[in-house]
Amino acid sequence: MDARAYVLIEAESGRVGGVITNLRDITGITAVDAVTGPYDIIAVIQTPDPHNVGRLVMNEIHGVEGVKRTITCLSIG
């Protein structure tokens, strides 16, 4: 069964559009949307290996210029 996670992303001021564009190019991220509230962006990760969720967040998402911080929520259903 695939692992799914929702990543809440806080972006640097004025960088939301560029962050969204770059996130959409990352393999394993199936959706990226701007949202209201304390976070600016939500990304959905879907991968066959649950260990890839952490790798994607740490190596790929945190590597995108303009990403300040993230919270990752693994889906359990």
Q: Report the candidate in 58, 73, 63 with the shortest Cα–Cα distance to residue 23.
A: 63
Q: What is the pTM of this model?
A: 0.94
33-70 in b/e burial notation, b at 16+ Cβ within 10 A?
A: eeeeeebbbbbebebeeeebbeebbeebbeebebbeeb
pLDDT at 55: 95
Q: Which residues of the chain have pLDDT under 70?
A: none
- The domain defined by 3-74 folds into Alpha-Beta Plaits (3.30.70)
Q: What is the pLDDT of residue 1?
A: 75
For residue 6, what pLDDT is reported? Answer: 98
Tokens of 15: 């960088």
Residue 77: predicted pLDDT? 76
* Strand, helix or coil for residue 27: coil
Q: Where are the domains of the chain?
A: 3-74
